[in-house]
Amino acid sequence: MNKTGTHAFVNQLLVYTLVTICLSGSVGLASVWMQQQIATASNNIKQLETRAADLERRRGEINAEIASEQSPAKLEQRNKAWSLGLVQPTEQQIERVYESPELRLARKQADGRFGGESLSFFPVRYASGGAR
Amino acid sequence: MSKGFASNYRIVLLAACVLAMFGGVATRLVYLHVIDRAKLVRHIEQARRQIVVENAIRGDIIDRRGNVLATSRTMIELAVDPQVLRPQDEAKWPELARLIGMSLDDLTKIFNTKVSLANPDDPESRDRVIQWAKLREEIPESLYDQINALGIKGVYGTRAYSRTYPQNRLAAHIVGYVNKEGTPATGIEHYADFYLRGQNGWRESEKDGRQREMAQFRSRDVPATNGYTVMLSIDSVVQSWVEDELDSIVQQFKPDNAVIIVSDAATGFLMAMGNYPTFNLNEFNKAPMQAQKNFAVSSQIDPGSTFKIVAASGALNEGLVTPQTRFDCMQAVVEHMGKPRKLMPDDHVYDHPLTVSEIISHSSNRGAAMLAMKLGDQRFYEYARAFGFAEKTGFPLMGEITGVLNEPKKWSGSDITRIPAGYSISATPLQIHYAMGVIASGGLLFRPQLINEVRTPSGEVVHRFGSNIVRRVITEKTAEQMALMLRGVMTEGTGMAVEMPGYQVAGKTGTAQKLIDGRYSERNHVGSFTAFFPASAPRVVITVIVDNGHPPKGVAYGGVVAAPSFKNLAGKLIPYLDIKPVDSSLVRPLLAAKGARP
């Protein structure tokens, strides 16, 4: 192949042009493929966002329903409708523990370590119906 | 010599063609990107660019135990495009009508009306094709799922966030509501809107020919910041009991208005505030304005005998009297500032001079007047102001009024005999409540507090509110003496019927005649009862006020129409708040030890 002269220059130009076209085409295809991937990923994200928003909406609705079902008026209504007979405790039914529960638990724990000696010295003091 | 694979002429021609084509493309590009750019970009922006607003979700309002009082949920507005309905879907119309609670006739009429006819009176109006007709508002998601499952083409919904109040009427005057325009109109919704409303986000992107977002062209995405959760000091359970008690008052006495207020004696935080009349927050648009008025802060009444604590506290605080100082309450006229003053009559005739304790326990009008006279007009007025009368309490919600208490220079000759007994003065129920709170707290006037905390949607505390002391009104010693005297009301005075042994209730009944057409009526009364317990370490202050109650027989005294509700409520609060009875073997049962402060 002649490396000098007009024909050689033209040949080289054609080769380079072809290479450039191939390269440009490859870059173009890669770019399109990348754009397609971006679009696919974006759409997936969008769908997930839509799904998350939908779940959030449903969570809000369920929370509102739970709150409504837990309202004192509803609970009392259910108590009557289902004849559960739940009532507030009367004063006479209340047994008050005047001792600190934390201290009591601490002593109980200590009791395990000291062979059951300490607990019997600290019985719980109950006051029926308060101290009246 | 090789000539290559083409002749010179052909190669040059081919190269020229290729260059010409590239030149053409380049020229077109220059034309599109430089010369015609502005016009084309504008066109594209109009056609493809979009800004989507992402609405922030309004924060919840919860009570002190986390129960939801107000929340946001999506609601769907269901509509139909009659132009795209298909004949094969007609069989599904009855089911759709059933689901949305509409008669089939109405539904069919909407579906078959495809054109809005021109108005014959208006020559410019023309027939209009209907592409949107509303079927129903506020459809929940679950129902919308069922409607979608029918698959009727042309029936579609538009989502919007809507405010909902799961507890309906509970604490309606406190929670308030957001109106249909989305404006927070009243209550905490209005007051704490700054925390609740959040910040909308937005998204800039492009859309395709079918108006769908092309997510890959998102250029800016600012996420919405949802509103904060506001935790109130209100307790739903206590509030529910208060409202049940109000229902009971209405059933028994048919009053014009009634109010019950419960607050924490140690901090001034409100635990419950109920009014009659009230309304359902989810149907606020159907509620009359009268029902929406917060009687506790927007109405003024004569406080009656509950106001007697002012004169007694003032005189004790100034060291002018002791609880044992006696006054002759049998005399009808006394001299004050050089002039004879006719005293208001008492309900009872006393055979001995009354001690200050007895003046309070027997609710003597004359005794209260003499205590105020001992203080003097100006000092008595200053004590009334110090107790919070004739000034706003600082209640955070709107609509509060100051009440009326004239300055001494504007008083008539009889005012010094009437004001100490709670007449010729107007106060709001909340002022009366917090005045009693002064005794319960050991002499401090608190500002009413409604909000405990503000939290992020994820539950982190942003701000915690503490108790707010307005001023010291009386000394701790005076408060102790007053609490002791108010115990006397329950043990030997007007409140004996509602005494709760073991719990040291200290309170004051009140009955004021109502001013009707400029005259005090013999038939219309405001009955009240305000009390706290246990007196030696107060936990709660409860005030019950019944405006113009009508008991089956007799006068609507505070001890008749208001005090029983106090007792019912206190009985429920004792186990709920774990208020322990006072062990008489451990403490002096009739002595207020230290107010309620920790």
> Are both B344 and B223 inside the same structural domain?
no
Q: Measuring CA to CA, which residue among B256, B254, B240, B249 is closest to residue B293?
A: B256
Assigned token pair, A120: 């019997």
Q: Which domain range does residue B431 map to? A: 236-280+295-457+464-576
The pLDDT value given to residue A119:
52
Residue B584 per-residue DSSP state: T
Segments of B353-499 assigned E as strands: 354-355, 444-446, 451-455, 461-464, 469-472
User: What percentage of chain B carries pLDDT values higher than 70?
Assistant: 96
CA angle B152, B157, B163 (to 5 degrees): 145
> Are both B209 and B156 inside the same structural domain?
no
Tell me: pLDDT of A68 over 50. Answer: yes
Tell me: pLDDT of B242 over 50. Answer: yes
Q: Average pLDDT for residues A69-75, to the nearest whole number?
A: 88
Q: Is B585 on the interface with A (CB under 8 A)?
A: yes
Q: Measuring CA to CA, which residue among B260, B257, B453, B417 is closest to residue B339?
A: B417
Backbone angles phi, psi at B520, to 5 degrees: -75, 125
> Are both B130 and B268 inside the same structural domain?
no
- The pLDDT tens digits for B62-90 are 999 999 999 998 888 899 999 989 999 99
Q: Average pLDDT for residues B5-25, to the nearest whole number?
A: 83
Q: Indicate which CATH number applies to the domain containing B424.
A: 3.40.710.10
Structural domain includes residue B354: yes
Total domains present in chain B: 3
- Lowest-pLDDT choice from A97-106, B376-385, B488-497: A97-106
Q: Please tell me whether the peptide bond between B552 and the residue prior to it is cis, using omega within 30 degrees of 0.
A: no
Q: Measuring CA to CA, how many Å separate B588 from each of A74, B271, B368, B537?
A: 43, 28, 28, 11
> Are both B326 and B397 inside the same structural domain?
yes
- The pLDDT tens digits for B424-457 are 999 999 999 999 999 999 999 999 999 999 999 8
The pLDDT value given to residue A116:
56
Rounded Cα–Cα distance for residues B394 and B383 (Å): 18
pLDDT band at A126 (very low <50, low <70, confident <90, very high): low
Q: Indicate which CATH number applies to the domain containing B95.
A: 3.90.1310.10
Nearest Cβ partner for A131 among B1, B5, B581 = B581
Rounded Cα–Cα distance for residues B490 and A119 (Å): 43
Tell me: pLDDT of B232 over 50. Answer: yes
The pLDDT value given to residue A123:
55
Tell me: pLDDT of A128 over 60. Answer: no
Rounded Cα–Cα distance for residues B175 and B61 (Å): 8
- The pLDDT tens digits for B93-130 are 999 999 999 999 999 999 999 888 888 888 787 888 88
B:118-157 residues touching chain A, CB 8 A cutoff: 140-142
The structural domains of chain A, with segments of one domain joined by +, span 5-79, 88-128
Rounded Cα–Cα distance for residues B7 and B418 (Å): 127
Q: Which residues on neighbouring strands pair with residue B496, listed in sequence order?
A: none
Assigned token pair, B550: 């009508």
* Contact at CB, B159 and A57, closer than 8 angstroms: yes
Cβ neighbours around B474 below 10 Å, total: 26
The pLDDT value given to residue B42:
86
The pLDDT value given to residue B126:
82
Structural domain includes residue B249: yes
Tell me: pLDDT of B587 over 60. Answer: no
Rounded Cα–Cα distance for residues B158 and B145 (Å): 13
ipTM: 0.72
Q: Average pLDDT for residues A31-59, to the nearest whole number?
A: 90
The pLDDT value given to residue A127:
53
SS3 B548: coil
Q: Which residues contact B352 (CB under 8 A, 6 or more apart)?
A: none
> Are both B505 and B564 inside the same structural domain?
yes
> Are both B171 and B161 inside the same structural domain?
no
> Are both B268 and B416 inside the same structural domain?
yes
pLDDT band at B508 (very low <50, low <70, confident <90, very high): very high
Tell me: pLDDT of B594 over 50. Answer: no
* Contact at CB, A17 and B8, closer than 8 angstroms: no
* SS3 of chain A: helix, strand, coil, percent, to 5: 70, 5, 25
Q: Collect all residues of chain B within an 8 Å Cβ-Cβ radius of residue A68.
A: 166-167
Q: Is B210 on the interface with A (CB under 8 A)?
A: no
Q: Which of B165, B180, B196 is the last residue of a domain?
A: B165
Tell me: pLDDT of B596 over 90. Answer: no
Rounded Cα–Cα distance for residues B73 and B76 (Å): 10
Structural domain includes residue B302: yes
| Type and span of the H or E element at B546 | strand B540-547
- Lowest-pLDDT choice from B307-311, B409-413, B590-594: B590-594
Q: How far is CA B474 from the centre of its chain?
A: 31
User: Strands B128-129 and B115-116, how do they pair?
Assistant: antiparallel
Alpha-carbon distance A2 to nearest alpha carbon in chain B (angstroms): 6
Q: Collect all residues of chain B within an 8 Å Cβ-Cβ radius of residue A10.
A: 4, 6, 8, 11-12, 15
SS3 B409: helix
Residue B485 and residue B357 in contact, taking contact as beta carbons nearer than 8 Å: yes
* Contact at CB, A64 and B68, closer than 8 angstroms: yes
> Are both B83 and B105 inside the same structural domain?
yes
CA angle B559, B560, B565 (to 5 degrees): 85
Tell me: pLDDT of B342 over 70. Answer: yes
Alpha-carbon distance B193 to nearest alpha carbon in chain A (angstroms): 20
SS3 B238: helix
Q: Which residues contact B503 (CB under 8 A, 6 or more apart)?
A: B533, B534, B570, B574, B579, B581, B582
> Are both B138 and B204 inside the same structural domain?
no
Structural domain includes residue B17: no
> Are both B488 and B407 inside the same structural domain?
yes
Structural domain includes residue B312: yes
